Structure 1
Amino acid sequence: MATNWSGFVRNFHDFFKQQQQQDQPEPLIKSYFKRGLNNVKQTPTMKYLPTYRLESKKPVNKETVEKMMEKVITKSFEDFQYESKAAQKLAKSVSEELKYKFKTFEFDRFRVISIVTIGEKFYQGMESMCSFLWDPNADGFVNFTYETPQYFVIATLYYIYYD
């Protein structure tokens, strides 16, 4: 198996000489690929082909997504006591759960980005900014904040139309 381009050319040249000596009728390229490049990973096929549709058949309903976010976050953080290592793991798992629940609604042709931030209230300020280039008619976000005396949780779910 060739590791670089020059090795590939050298292997193909050697194979070509063998084919001429053996005088086999099978096509050169086809047999070479059968022999040496059958382990190449194929790229996944697109789920949707471009239809150039500008509107979704089933658009995002912000109210249902907001209720879903509220249920998931309040359930996940009911008995949580702030600890930095546990907060990292919980933020990741809640973010994945929010994405999964969003996908179960089966909104038509939307990609989703979920960001969950957990911070300890320790007399500090916090500023966060996010910037996207998107279509304001089709794309959007849903935000939910959960606060206790010890910590705060900010969950944001961005949905982007995929045509």
Structure 2
Amino acid sequence: MMMSEIAKDRMARSVRKRGSVSSLNGREFWQKELHGNTKKNTVSFTDEPSQRDNASRLTVQMENTYQLGPTKHFPAVIVNHILKDVLTNYLQEEQYEPELCRQMTKTISEVIKTQVKDLMIPRYKLIVIVHIGQLKSQSILIGSRCLWDPKSDTFSSYVFRNSSLFALASVYAVYFE
């Protein structure tokens, strides 16, 4: 079956206008085009690259963003100053009372955590522990254990004493990869 030249020209114009060719073979394509029943499977083609294509093909340099360790280390000295200031300000004039000290440990640990977070040290998980006890000729041994990488993980602690109580504040900084 031969198609008229007018139908072929019309189909060629519509193909050029869309800029795509169907995945059907030639005869199926022309039959489907004539009846207006084409599949959506198309493959784009260009005879010559345009300026827009050149702009979209610009090379992009990729950068390796994987880090093997922290770019900014945890400032243990600055955190020591924070611990000293907070413990001194909150406990300088306090006398040991069990219920008050129980509440103070929570308050002091939250204040310390907030001030250390304000330093904006990226990718460190913080653990803040505060112990407050009475001074009465007794001894106490406080220990902690943790599995960590000594190259990137660290801690900071400070001990405060006044006439009736002692306080130990510790901040553990664990690098999160």
How far did 1:79 drift?
2.0
CA distance in 1, matches of 2:101, 2:168: 12
The two structures have a TM-score, normalised by structure 1, of 0.66
Equivalenced residues, count: 113
| Contact 1:99 1:112 (8 Å CA) reproduced | yes
Q: Which residue of 2 aligns with 1:66?
A: 80
- Counterpart check, 1:122 vs 2:136: yes
How far residue 146 of structure 1 moved from its aligned partner, in angstroms, is 0.4
- Percent of residue pairs identical: 28
Match of 2:163 among 106, 131, 149: 149
Output the aligned Cα RMSD. Answer: 1.2
Superposition TM-score, scaled by structure 2 size = 0.61
1:22 paired residue number:
none
Kept in 2, the 8 Å contact 1:116–1:156? The answer is yes
CA contact (8 A) 1:141 1:159 kept: yes
Q: Could you report, residue by residue, the CA deviation over 1:79-102 in whole angstroms, capped at 9, with x for unpaired residues?
A: 211100000000111001111111
Q: Distance in 2 between matches of 1:52 and 1:123?
A: 53
Shift of 1:52: 4.7
Contact 2:158 2:168 in 1 (8 A): yes
Q: Distance in 1 between matches of 2:108 and 2:89?
A: 10
2:106 corresponds to: 92
Give, in whole Å, the separation in 2 of the partners of 1:53 and 1:135. Answer: 15
Structure 2 unpaired stretches of 5+: 1-64
- CA distance, structure 1, for counterparts of residue 96 and residue 135 of structure 2: 10
User: Would you say the 8 A contact 2:92–2:162 is kept in 1?
Assistant: no
Q: Measure, in 1, the Cα distance between the counterparts of 2:162 and 2:154.
A: 27
Q: Give yes or no for contact 2:105–2:131 (8 Å, CA) kept in 1.
A: yes
Question: Which whole-Å deviations, capped at 9, do the CAs of 1:126-154 have from their partners, x for residues lacking one?
Answer: 11111110000100110100011211000
Partner Cα separation in structure 2 for residue 69 and residue 53 of structure 1: 30
Q: Structure 1 unaligned segments of length 5 or more: list them.
A: 1-50
Write the mapping of 1:75-114 to structure 2, written as runs, cut at 5 A: 75-114=89-128
Equivalent residue of 1:58, what SS? coil
Query: Runs of 4 or more off by more than 3 Å in structure 1?
Result: none
Asked whether the 8 Å contact 1:69–1:98 carries over to 2, the reply is yes
Structure 2: how far apart are the matches of 1:109 and 1:86? 34
